[in-house]
Amino acid sequence: MRIANIILLLSTVAAGTLGFACPSPAAGKVRQFIMVTGSSGGTYYALGGAMAAAWNKHLESEGIMVAGVASGASVENMHLLHSGEADLGMAMNNVADAAWNGGAPFPGKMNKFRALGVIYPEVYQIVADASTKATKLADLKGKRVAVGPVGSGTAVITELLFKAAGMDMSDIQAQRDGFGNAAAKMKDGHLDASCAVLSVPASSILELKTGMDLSYVDIGDAELAKLRESHPFFTRFSIPAGTYSNTASIETVTCQAALYCRADLDEETAYKLTGALYEYSSEVAAAHAAGKSIQLKTALDGITTPLHPGAIRYYKEKNIAVPASLMQ
């Protein structure tokens, strides 16, 4: 869905469809802000709805309403923030850093955005039909694999990891589905495996395993080491045995999901959104498990691009040290 159509959609759908409540006529002047998230079935979309609900509950009286809408996720979100088509956006910290510095997959520096803070650890996960017996990346050669939507962080990481394993997209039958569509295709036998960046445990994987037997693909030490040569944001993450139907831990990689905004967002709004995100994180956590990771003490962990002045103001009030590199 293009952002140009979102305003029309917001005026015609019922409250709650996108995870927010419409202001009443008596609410006074209320400004509507668009937050781009990710594909339906992924963590960004569901978590974004929970975040929007918390903001709207506490900030509507101050004239702020947020609508969380589906998008292609991290890469597309950086484009939408840079172009001013969205006000807020969720993205992986490595993707935001690439946008700021003009690294792949961006054509040049796209830095008309600012950071507000970290949300949760991003965990890359590959699940496969158990009949494939896939447990490592090389096992996916020739298989039908959903590598993530165009413009998503999942697609970026998938390509990087396959390259680290000495493979490329031509070694598989790549499809560009988000995890929701990919899960449906796997159940119908139209896909062999799906890649996604999700929280742990991922509700979409928990749901998928109830309908079919799964195998889980590990990211090896050699692949991680190769990846970290050019992308030091990534670290090892072990998904504990029993999280899904896995009898042993699943060895994979993680970075950070963070919240960003357009650079010209006014300071007062950025200040209020940042404060409400961390002060009412328990309400977000009650609606989505990933919300448990929204904590003030880790709000700046992994942020490498400049913070919005409104966010800086909030952190200083909370005695959080802000590195000079984030105050450009």
Could you give all domains of the chain from N- to C-terminal order, each with its CATH number?
3-118+258-326 (3.40.190.10), 123-255 (3.40.190.10)
Q: What per-residue confidence (pLDDT) applies to 1?
A: 40
Matching residue, tokens 């956006």: 89
Q: Could you give the CA distance from residue 326 to residue 211 in angstroms, rounded to a whole number? A: 46
- Name the least confident of 4-8, 148-152, 169-173, 297-301: 4-8
Q: Could you give the CA distance from residue 55 to residue 272 in angstroms, rounded to a whole number? A: 9
Pairing of strands 144-146, 113-129: unpaired
Whether 248 has a pLDDT exceeding 50, the answer reads yes
- Name the least confident of 137-141, 144-148, 247-251, 300-304: 300-304
Residue 155 burial class via C-beta count within 10 angstroms: exposed 0-12, middle 13-18, buried 19 and up: buried
Whether 230 has a pLDDT exceeding 90, the answer reads no
Instruction: Find the helix packing angle between 153-164 and 74-83, rounded to 10°.
Output: 130
Task: Write down the mean pLDDT value for the chain.
Answer: 90
Tokens matching residue 229: 């040569």
Structure pTM? 0.76
Which is more confident, 276 or 40? 276
- Residue range 152-171: mean pLDDT, rounded: 93
